[in-house]
A = this chain, B = another copy of it.
Amino acid sequence: MSVLVKNHKDLVKNVDYNKEEAIKVLKKEFGQQFSDSKSVREQHTDTTTIHTSKLPDGVVFAENESDVRKTVEICNKYKCPIIPFGVGSSLEGHVNALHGGVSVDLNNMNKILSISPEDSLAVVQPGVTREQLNTYLRDTGLFFPIDPGANASLGGMSATNASGTNAVRYGTMKDNVVSLKVVMPNGEILKTANKAKKSSAGYDITRLMVGSEGTLGIITEITLKLYGIPEVIAGGRVTFPSIKNATEAVIMVIQSGIPVARIELLDQEQVKACNAYSKLDLPEEPLLLLEFHGSEASVKEQSELFSEIATDFGGGNFEWTSNNEQRNKLWKARHDAYYATKSCKPDDEYIATDVCVPISRLSDCIMETQVDLKKYNLFGHIVGHVGDGNFHVQLMVNPNDKNEIEALNFFLDRLSKRAINMEGTCTGEHGIGQGKKQYLIDELGPCVSFMKKIKSTFDPNNIMNPGKVF
């Protein structure tokens, strides 16, 4: 992909980098583990993003912590940007080499180091993907729940504070990372916490690192919480006459303390696309999809309680099942939503953005966003992790149509500002990256200057993923 959306000014001062010297030394030091071939460099930037990027000047394929440390020390010595790279599935340009420099590919650091079933903990290297971990865990009765959609690396998921459909029950990465090992910009290696389930020992460096988007250090080891695989998983779906009715039902679910595992909203346009793509005949109205985890009795109780709530808020018949195959059928619209949207305009480019608001403002935020899609004549569908007040807009745009790109810029700008005005955030789970730096300031004002103080004191040479977050 390429340049679609205007980039806000890089807010961190550009250091006088000496990239050439760093690259020379890295090349010599890493031999076969280093590449400056154009094709490799092209694979390490501009992956799933709409933001401008240069190519990195080279790529180091790290095999272990010591490789990472060596790379960081060389880059810090010669002042060279360093961009941690996982599977490249982030949506906000986190892996872009905005100022050139070295991409550190962590995919070969993909060992599962230990599993402790008694402590419900896993220790993994950053290149392990979430699917790899769950495959490995299959016989233990445990699983790692965080699911951002893509088969992302756990290092990347930690760095961007990923979450996804079941955050409403299991939280985000911030709630599930117990401890990290991190190579800091000066080459020091930190352990941010021990393995106790809770701790009040000092400042929370773990959660400072989770979501810091590679700007404070490179994660080399992650201790994660695991959960027992639910005895039974039930799923269901129901249609509502309006977004407002659907979100009011969601609010009631949360208030009632029903421990729903997933609660997803598809707006009318998304349902229409899914009907066409997946050959369904759902009413073209807002659709809620739910998942419940528990014992047979518990998921039945949860489903029945929800069914009553759905009826109270004007929902149609709530179909649900604890049969896996039938559940996948009920959820088909959700599973295919991404492909359904893409299939509508196969020649256009796919763009996804996310915001998150207090749930009382969710229906207003979604409806105003739908109005804006029409107003700016943009093609977009809304899919939401609505138990958290979080939703995505999936847009299809023509990168060669200047007017459409301008309209897109207006639309995205208004969306972030709308969420912030509703006391929400410009990003619930995608991160700031390159594209939302100005909105971080709009959202948190003076707080950003204290974030920058941390950045400057940890990384005075601004080598760690420069041009992201600030």
Shortest Cβ gap from A48 to chain B (Å): 16
Shortest Cβ gap from A245 to chain B (Å): 14
- Chain B proximity mask over A341-364: 1 for CB below 8 Å, otherwise 0: 000000000000000111110000
- Chain B proximity mask over A17-40: 1 for CB below 8 Å, otherwise 0: 000000000000000000000000
Contact assessment for B423 and A194 in the assembled complex, using a CB-CB cutoff below 8 Å = yes
Q: Does A371 contact B (CB under 8 A)?
A: no
- Chain A: interface residue total (CB-CB under 8 A): 94
**Complex: how many Å from CA A426 to CA B196?**
10
Q: Does A121 contact B (CB under 8 A)?
A: yes
Contact assessment for A118 and B202 in the assembled complex, using a CB-CB cutoff below 8 Å = no
Q: Does A59 contact B (CB under 8 A)?
A: no
The residue in chain B whose Cβ has the minimal distance to the Cβ of A428 is: B198
Given A175-B175, A204-B211, A207-B207, A356:B228 Cβ within 8 A: no
Q: Does A392 contact B (CB under 8 A)?
A: no
The residue in chain B whose Cβ has the minimal distance to the Cβ of A189 is: B446
Given A174-B204, A228-B256, A358-B119, A198:B301 Cβ within 8 A: no
**Complex: how many Å from CA A449 to CA B191?**
12
Binds B, one of A1-9, A70-78, A373-381, A451-459: A451-459
Contact assessment for A193 and B360 in the assembled complex, using a CB-CB cutoff below 8 Å = no
Q: Does A205 contact B (CB under 8 A)?
A: yes
Q: Does A427 contact B (CB under 8 A)?
A: yes
Q: Does A262 contact B (CB under 8 A)?
A: no
The residue in chain B whose Cβ has the minimal distance to the Cβ of A388 is: B197
Q: State the A residues within 8 Å of B (CB).
A: 116-121, 141-142, 160-161, 163, 167, 171-172, 174-175, 184, 188-205, 207-208, 210-212, 216, 227-228, 230, 251, 254-257, 259, 293-295, 297-298, 301, 356-360, 388-390, 419-420, 423-432, 436, 439-440, 443-451, 453-454, 456-458, 469
Q: Which 8 A-B pairs have the closest CB atoms?
A: A118-B360, A199-B425, A196-B356, A228-B257, A196-B424, A119-B358, A207-B207, A195-B423
A-B residue pairs in contact (CB < 8 Å), sample of 26: A119-B358, A120-B254, A171-B175, A175-B175, A184-B450, A190-B444, A191-B444, A192-B447, A194-B425, A195-B358, A196-B389, A196-B390, A196-B425, A196-B428, A198-B428, A199-B428, A200-B429, A201-B439, A201-B444, A203-B208, A204-B204, A205-B450, A257-B293, A298-B301, A453-B458, A457-B457
